[in-house]
Structure formats: C-alpha cells, structure tokens
Structure 1
Amino acid sequence: MINLPCALVAGALLCSAPPTPKPTADVPPVASFKCPVPHGYFPHRVAWKYWQCASGIAYELSCAGNHVTRVVWDQRLLRCRRAR
C-alpha cells in the first residue's frame, strides 16, 4: 500500500501522485525484487533495509546506522526510525 498526499477540497478527497524518487547514482538497481507499482517504498526481509522503486526499477537501500544502532525501516511511516 502506498500513502499518497491527499486533501479534502470542496467535499472531495483529492490525492496527488508522490514525486518521482531520485535514487543516488551510486546505488545500482537490484533484479531480485520486482516492483509492485512503478514508484514507491517497500519493506525488505532485513529490518534495516528497504526497497525504493523508481520508474519500475528496484533499488535496495539501507537505513543509516542499520543494525548496529538499531535503526529500522518503518513501512507505515515510510522512513527509518529507531527500533523500540
């Protein structure tokens, strides 16, 4: 599920597409994950990693600090956070 920015305007719920993510050039695409939609963020089997899809291409990314400082990906917030 992807959370889109939405607003209630004149009684209608209007949602806009998220901005196209721009992965850094030093992160190569990974073929083992298939993007369910062209753009978005998705959980990884490793807690401190996540997938970013941009134009249907999957990029495997890690949270800063990863397992050493107990920082994990939070799919609900779509960002990294300290583990509880």
Structure 2
Amino acid sequence: MAIDDARPCPCGSGLSSHWVNDARGIPLCRICPTCAKEKLSTYRPEVLTDSNYYADEDIDGDYHASPLVPVRLGSCSCPR
C-alpha cells in the first residue's frame, strides 16, 4: 500500500483519509472531513501557508542512516 493510498482515517471516523502536507511539502498527518479542523489546528498557521516558516530543527540537514544500515557501500564489517 502506497503512502498516498486511500484508507480509513486514524481518527476512527471510518471515512477515507488523505495526507496533508505543510507549506514545504513535508507530510504532517492523515485527515478526513471529520477531523481536519481539529488536527490542523495543532499546527501554527504559517506552517500550512508559508514555505519559509521558522523551524528550530534542521529541515534539510544531513541524513543520518540507522546504525544498522551501512553508510557507504563496502563499509559493512560483515564476514565475506
């Protein structure tokens, strides 16, 4: 099942839901008509409308792979 497939909303309404993104295109949450207003009210308005909104966390920073995933090909210490 793809991330954008229609599925029942996690709010429990039983209605079909979809992902809503912030102004930068970052997925925030799944919503349906029943819970949209409540869920979106938890975000600052500029997060939904201004792609230059202030964020104190690094949005576009370096990707840090899981410690279980080799960072570079050939860096695995597995026996060969």
* TM-score band w.r.t. shorter chain: under 0.3
Higher RCO, 1 or 2 (CA under 8 Å, sep at least 6)? 1
Q: Give the alignment's TM-score, normalised by structure 1.
A: 0.23
Q: In proportion to residue count, which structure has more strand?
A: 1
Q: If the length of structure 2 is used for normalisation, what is the TM-score? A: 0.23
Question: Of the two, which has the highest radius of gyration?
Answer: 2
Q: Which has the higher helix share?
A: 2
